[in-house]
Amino acid sequence: MAYRTAPWFVTHVFNPLAMKFGIGGSLVLEVARRRSGGVQRIPVLLLERDGHRYLVSPRGNTQWVRNLRVSGECRVGRSGALTAYRAWEVDAADRGPILAEYRVLAGKAVRSHFEALPDDADHPVFELIPA
């Protein structure tokens, strides 16, 4: 499964600002790192669709995706007010409608990722269930 690495500016400048100020509706995702056990924190957009909550990885099989697959648990919310969830990966065959709605939600910020990785199977999607 492919993925796109975030540029230095995104990792070191934009992501911390997005988490602190909620830029573009960003929330904080916290997930346990699969090797060290430390906490990985990144900004995400939470898609709410038909009463369900979804996390989408526009960059593909990223580190947070791999960590979430191993732990099966995460916390999402505004910094300081995070909610615990269990995460279930959505089958690739069922991702199409979720990804279409996510592309509308995220807009041009994710367009290049979906152009570079056009196959729905390259974009992991997790349904979040309150823990």
Give this prediction's pTM. Answer: 0.91
Query: pLDDT digit string (tens) for 22-38?
Result: 788 899 999 999 999 99
For the chain, domain boundaries: 8-130
8-130 adopts what CATH topology?
A: Pnp Oxidase; Chain A (2.30.110)
Tokens linked to 70: 């191993």
Distances (CA, A) of 9 to 13, 16, 26: 5, 10, 17
Examine the pLDDT at 42 and tell me if it is beyond 80.
Answer: yes
Phi first, then psi: give them for residue 59, nearest 5 degrees. -90, 0
Integer-rounded Cα radius of gyration of the chain: 14
pLDDT at 1: 67
Q: Would you tell me how many other CB atoms lie within 10 Å of the CB of residue 121? A: 13
Average pLDDT over residues 34-61: 96
Q: Please give the residue that has the higher pLDDT: either 110 or 1.
A: 110
pLDDT digits (tens, 9 = 90+) for 71-126: 999 999 997 899 999 999 999 999 999 999 999 999 998 999 989 999 999 999 99
